[in-house]
Structure 1
């Protein structure tokens, strides 16, 4: 029998605890104490802790992703698939991810087809929800452990550096030898014995709870609030205004070093400034929170600021659940697959683990990258091209949040999202070159390749190959070589009827969204979370209404996720098909004071 002895075996219990405190692992490994009483039964915690009373860390922030299949690393220490060029799988080496990107996933900007039924706002919503449930932190170290070389300046594999090699056939060959890539931070709870393996963390809550607006930690949630407001409002930008409407506050100047083009916005998610679409949605829902607390205050002037904040946050979470499960998912999976994969809600099941799965975060929910248009449309008040704010190549909209403040506010981008179709995913038309050849080019440095980054991340996380996932979903496995293929590299199969993904992605996406719903104690349809009259009002929620209430846009589509062919199809915000959310059922519904978080 082999005995494994490690340095940690020589440490005392006190030494181990001190190390946990210094590394920040103590909070990850410590079981939270779940409060009882009115507040904890009525509102979810900001961290996601104690949603499940038996397993209080399920779905919480800063826990490892769940695994639906065991990982496949190249050794017991968690070396990624493809780490050793000499390592073979079924007597063959894994193809370089950059080569897969070029030969399978990359599409020229002008060689795309447009979706005949879906708008680009639906594409944006997918990323918005992704930022509500997934955030994988990279290694806190940016230098190689053995040599100390900056990972941005080396093509050698040395944890946490896992650079993407440039094939000799690549047009970039001769200009650069690799693209920098940093491994994801390992979970503190990973094991080192053969029966344990390297895991990666989700830094935010798994639940669809609008955490990208409110944050996933008490400290951030506090910073984002207007502490002097009697209404439980979120903090606003005091320097710039979108006419009479608010922007997100700017981060302190010392925290904006990553964006040389101007100030960055402060929000519940660190990716709020990634591109103009995210800036727009963050701004829209910040305004919606503040609109809700004002309306609730008029109904219940005796409510405390914390009560108003928590009630508005609860409504916002329900809005995101409804728009995602009832409006977004059926268009992605197709009605038939939706009914099969996500059957009608039967109630909360405390045995269901809602924790985001590694395969969902790292591969499956990245499918929408192939539906992104290469241009960002910006339209004027009549939904016509605005000569002052013309369409932008996508790479010029990345980390350019200053454009919203300086170039017309959120309305031009919102109109563009409403009237622009999504890019159609077909086997021959995958990810546009704006993403594979020009990613972050406008910010200087080496342009990156999103397709290659996605594939490399899957290998970094030890995701099994395509064939293993087909077997997991009960699908046929074509041949043994499918075990060599990355799941993203084989997402080119035709979509199911009425949907935009094939059988494999339908299975993986459906399973995750089913667990997110059934394993959430605060799911909006669960009896006792909202009253029946409140649920009735919430069921009529409309993204078009939210746009009307929080922008200067006067004409909107009835269904903003469906393609609108021309402005003549739009409805005025006063139209009966764009109903207001009636908050009267929220008048005097519970105990009047709640404490923070």
Structure 2
């Protein structure tokens, strides 16, 4: 009888969850969660103003001076804030100092610790609801031309009604209300359960080392290239810069471990009994908070928000940059082409890409590298130390550099074709026309090859993410102005699911079939493997599409769980899993409980671990482990819960329902809020960007064909993000018919614009 009750309960629960997600799948605006409202009314305005006055000097000194800088190579150079983000951080610092002053005044001399003040004295009432700080959102240069046929590189003017929506340097949005300790600014550190509010959360490292034992189980369906493309995609949508001080005029991370030297420090505690770090005497891991800003129109007291240094759109900003100097320095300004480099013979003249498979991302020498915040430090040959790309993380690992290079080669191929066809076009017209085509093909690959594997075809259809066929358009009435901003729960947690899929090794497979492997941790921020032979780009991409990713679960390879960005001679580095947990607390994002409830309804959660609602939710013994870490289900960090969820067999895909919902919601906003989305009809100056016949050609685009066309790869899987033992010759007639794009048709009628 009891078993029957449980079965009936589970059946009812599944049906209710499905109904709840159906409701969330509707295309609707995200509620404004920039502020939590005070339960006790309006705060003392004079107290706020006085606190702000005191904070000016403190904030300036925090940004421009202070204790020593941490030069550890464990700290990624790609996190550098650009000049605009550095200005933004001053606003966030001023807000934090003012809130701390207010908190101390309200404590009125009691004996609470700093953490207890933040937890016991909520300041939500001081974070008054208002528009976002003008220093971030009200860029005076965002003046839009309604007749412009091409995107702005910085993402502005996509939404003509709100010109700054989705612009680089603007704030990210939340799906649920923030979980800051004080409702405004302080990172989450304590249990949310009413009876346990003095109980601290487990250390982010404790969560990592307990949940993930670095168990290596290969996935049977997806290739390692899916992780590389996913990383490339993620670096298009979002870059949340870390707080850095000015050190001799240049951004540098503060020293946060073994002791804090900045109020923006949030070091990760490591136990004396840690299964790995205890062997090396490591007691903490360095961690600085993300750059913050506020919601107050006068840049005063407000809820801490995080910015996106990239444009928010799926617009190839990882290829082209997000405007300003960043985009300018990547262009050749001749024939619409992007800059490239030749690692082996820098003096030779450029030939066609088919004849030069060793072209690579542009590089800079050491001095230029150190001066340029848009480059990635990476040891290279011939004294060159860094690569340049639209996103500064392009040199994070060799396979990612190879993916970047593939798309630069593709742009230049299209630019060459346009230049040959339209001799009277100037460089700008050729560049923008090529960029539009490349971006459309990139969008198609994301939605046709990548997302269906992650979400499953049924969830793709539920959220209206499935691509259209043939010559069909997406009607203009489905364009939703006001959508498009990056969702913080995506960028901070759900979008990082691929960390579970990373392998211990980086693989290369030559055209002769020889396979080599190198440890991942030895090649982070090192592009040597991408330029050591004539077509390392093709060999890296081929090696990753013929090897399996690791299984999607709570396990993460020790190469990034214990050795992230380690020094070349060091036995240890950082912990990517712990960093993700700590970043979620830094950003004050909702917990796993909050987001599961948002996606699947209140019936899918319960504040007690004893509830049967938690049975069968997580992989294997994860529930037992999670219960040992967290006092209450309400406390579980979003990343920890999300990667531990069982995939939903009803929908397919790699992920459980919570992460799937967040990712689907993100790409729903990305697609339907983008006026320049490749499938839309008549949304740009009342016209479509492509004819129906051209759309049909774009829909033939595949990542496999790009690898065939632009590298020395001669055999390939038809779907390179899937694992398969079957491959075809690149010039196989049937494969060519399926994937060979008619570029002559795709560049036709450009003179009519």
TM-score (norm 1): 0.88
- Structure 2 residue 121 is the aligned partner of structure 1 residue 121: no
1:261 Cα offset (Å): 5.7
The gaps in structure 1 that reach 5 residues or longer are 12-18
In structure 2, stretches of 5+ residues that fail to align are: 1-41, 55-62, 64-82, 89-134, 346-352, 371-376, 467-473, 609-631, 682-687
1:395-410 alignment to 2 at 5 Å? 395-408=521-534, 409-410=536-537
SS of 1:200's partner is: strand
**Structure 1 range deviating more: 171-180 or 447-456:** 171-180
After the TM superposition, which residues 429-440 of structure 1 pair with which residues of structure 2 at under 5 Å, given as runs?
430-440=555-565
Helix, strand or coil at the partner of 2:219: strand
Q: 1:91 to 1:223 in 2, by over 3 A?
A: same
Give the equivalent residue in structure 1 for 2:125: none
CA distance in 1, matches of 2:254, 2:512: 50
Q: Does 1:462 align with 2:588?
A: yes
SS of equivalent residue, structure 2 residue 498: helix
Distance 1:465 1:261 in 2: 41
The answer to whether 1:575 aligns with 2:733 is yes
SS in 2 for 1:251: strand
Matched, 1:220 2:326: yes
Contact 1:352-1:519 at 8 Å conserved across structures: yes
> In structure 2, which of residues 127, 142, 150 is the aligned counterpart of residue 43 of structure 1?
150
* Cross-structure match for 2:363: 250
How far is 1:84 from its partner? Answer: 11
TM-fit CA distance, 1:514? 0.4
Displacement of 1:56: 1.2
> 2:417 is paired with a residue of what secondary structure?
helix
Distance 2:177 2:298 in 1: 15
Paired position in structure 1 for 2:420:
298
Aligned match for 1:29, one of 114, 138, 141: 138
2:270–2:284 Cα contact (<8 Å) kept: yes
Q: Report whether the alignment pairs 1:584 with 2:744.
A: yes
Change (3 A) 1:34 1:80: same
* Kept after mapping to 2: 8 A contact 1:395/1:442: no
* Number of the residue aligned with 1:52: 159
1:516-531 superposed matches below 5 A: 516-527=670-681, 528-531=688-691
The alignment partner of 1:473 has SS state of helix
- 8 Å Cα contact 1:226/1:233 also seen in 2: yes
Larger radius of gyration: 2
Q: How does 1:43-442 map to 2 (within 5 A)?
A: 43-82=150-189, 90=197, 92-107=199-214, 111-141=215-245, 150-156=254-260, 158-171=262-275, 172-173=277-278, 175-187=281-293, 189=295, 196-227=302-333, 229=334, 231-238=335-342, 240=344, 244-245=356-357, 246-256=359-369, 258-260=377-379, 263-343=385-465, 347=476, 348-385=478-515, 390-408=516-534, 409-426=536-553, 430-442=555-567
Question: How far 1:403 moved relative to its partner?
Answer: 2.4
Cα gap change, 1:92 to 1:306, in 2 (>3 Å): same
Deviations 1:74-107 (A, max 9, x none): 125511012899x995453211110000011341
1:478 to 1:76, Cα distance in 2 relative to 1, 3 A? closer
Task: State whether residues 139 and 164 of structure 2, in contact with CA within 8 Å, keep that contact through their aligned partners in structure 1.
Answer: no
The structure-2 alpha-carbon separation of the partners of 1:455 and 1:573, relative to structure 1 and needing over 3 Å to count, comes to farther
SS at match of 2:735: coil
Deviation at 1:35, TM superposition (A): 3.0
Q: 1:265 is paired with a residue of what secondary structure?
A: strand
Asked if structure 2 preserves the Cα contact closer than 8 Å seen for 1:58 and 1:354, the reply is: yes
Q: How many residues align structurally?
A: 567
- The residue number in structure 2 matching 1:547 is 707
Question: Does structure 2 retain, via aligned residues, the 8 Å contact 1:138–1:182?
Answer: yes
Q: What does residue 494 of structure 1 align with?
A: 646
Is the Cα contact below 8 Å between 1:142 and 1:182 reproduced in 2?
no
Q: 1:523 to 1:89 in 2, by over 3 A?
A: farther
| Partner residue, 2:626 | none
2 CA distance for matches of 1:426 and 1:22? 34
Q: Distance in 2 between matches of 1:190 and 1:158?
A: 24
- Alpha-carbon spacing, 1:177–1:365, altered in 2? closer, same or farther (3 Å): same
For 2:413 and 2:237, the matched residues in 1 are separated by 24
TM-score in terms of structure 2 length: 0.70
What SS does the aligned partner of 1:378 have? strand
SS in 2 for 1:123: helix
- SS, match of residue 99 in structure 1: helix
Deviations 1:25-79 (A, max 9, x none): 54653254433254x2x21100000100111111111001111112111125511
Q: Distance in 1 between matches of 2:146 and 2:254?
A: 50
Secondary structure of 2:389's match? coil
Secondary structure, aligned partner of 1:115: strand
Flag the structure with higher helix content: 2
Return the offset for 1:254: 1.6
* Residue range with higher mean Cα deviation, 195-204 or 279-288: 195-204
Match in the other structure for 1:561: 721
After superposition, the C-alpha distances for 1:224-246 in whole angstroms (9 at most, x for unaligned) are 1112x2x1111121553698231
